[in-house]
């Protein structure tokens, strides 16, 4: 099969990244905490577990929907990690990352527009931004957040590379990747509100304010460090693979995240 042209692949990356930020962060903004208006308030929100599942489902659904077009990265750290693993052409990295960041910002703007439709909504500190120290949900310090983000992103990229290895069961890559992202969020929402994705962090940081723009650097550096480590060491751990090239269409497994 022919490889889709770059504009088509970028369109798929835009759609996938938009959905990840819109639905993932949207679940945290609109549905994580929701009280009934009855005389006795009842918690109807989805909580941490629901938000974690929402992020996993965004990746799973879009990996199946457009992973065959672009490789389904939806994440600058993933793009760099799979390029480091020689699964993706370095020449296309800037275009992919630029598209992912723009898609995240468009999704963030859409979320703000919808959220502002409720009287009394205050965007400051309420846009599902990532943070450390006083801006960490659990008050975790910079070093702890950096380590968590780097480790979890590395594991994410290992799962992506392993589940799209030519030796892996065909067709199940998106399931493994989506469930891995769910697990990552179950672990780390209290630590950093979970990034492992610079486009996700950038997409809401500037709309959120409240220190998020100033802390955004960590949610670029830590995920990228983790992804590059995973990309550089995957073959050392798993041996030579038969990769489904991420960003190109092959006749075997090719969806990623």
Q: What is the mean pLDDT of residues 136-142?
A: 97
pLDDT at 248: 46
pLDDT for res 244:
52
SS3 169: coil
Structure tokens at 249: 């269409």
The per-residue pLDDT for 250 is 41
Alpha-carbon distance of 244 to 174, in angstroms, equals 13
Q: Per-residue pLDDT tens for 173-182?
A: 999 999 999 9
Confidence band, pLDDT 50/70/90 cuts, at residue 134: very high
Q: What is the mean pLDDT of residues 132-159?
A: 98
Query: What's the full length of the chain, in residues?
Result: 257
pTM of the model: 0.90
Inform me whether the pLDDT recorded for 243 exceeds 80: no
165 pLDDT higher than 80: yes
Query: Class of the 6-238 domain?
Result: mainly alpha
- What are the structural domain ranges in the chain? 6-238
Amino acid 219: pLDDT:
98
| Sign of the dihedral through C-alpha 141, 185, 9, 114 | negative
CA distances from 156 to 33, 131, 159, 229, 257 (A): 27, 20, 5, 11, 9
**pLDDT single digits (tens) 10-62:** 999 999 999 999 999 999 999 887 666 665 666 778 899 999 999 999 999 99
């Amino acid at each position: 099969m022919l490889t889709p042209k770059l504009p088509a692949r970028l369109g798929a990356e835009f759609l996938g990244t938009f959905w990840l930020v819109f639905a993932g962060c949207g679940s945290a903004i609109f549905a994580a905490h929701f009280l009934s208006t009855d005389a006795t308030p009842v918690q109807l929100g989805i909580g941490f577990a629901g938000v974690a599942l929402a992020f996993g489902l965004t990746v799973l659904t879009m990996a199946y929907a457009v992973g065959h077009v672009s490789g389904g990265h939806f994440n600058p750290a993933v793009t760099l990690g799979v390029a480091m693993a020689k699964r993706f052409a370095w020449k296309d990295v800037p275009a992919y990352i630029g598209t992912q960041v723009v898609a995240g910002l468009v999704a963030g703007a859409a979320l703000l527009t919808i959220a502002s439709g409720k009287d009394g909504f205050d965007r400051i500190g309420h846009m599902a931004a990532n943070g450390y120290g006083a801006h960490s949900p659990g008050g975790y310090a910079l070093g702890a957040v950096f380590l968590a983000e780097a480790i979890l992103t590395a594991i994410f990229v290992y799962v992506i590379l392993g589940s799209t290895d030519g030796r892996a069961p065909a067709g199940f890559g998106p399931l493994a990747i989506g469930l891995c992202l769910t697990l990552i969020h179950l672990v780390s929402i209290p630590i950093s509100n979970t990034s492992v994705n610079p486009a996700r962090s950038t997409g809401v940081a500037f709309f959120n304010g409240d220190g998020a723009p100033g802390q955004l650097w960590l949610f670029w550096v830590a995920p990228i460090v983790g992804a590059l480590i995973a990309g550089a060491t995957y073959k050392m751990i798993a041996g030579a693979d038969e990769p489904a090239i991420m960003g190109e269409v092959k006749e075997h497994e090719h969806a990623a995240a």
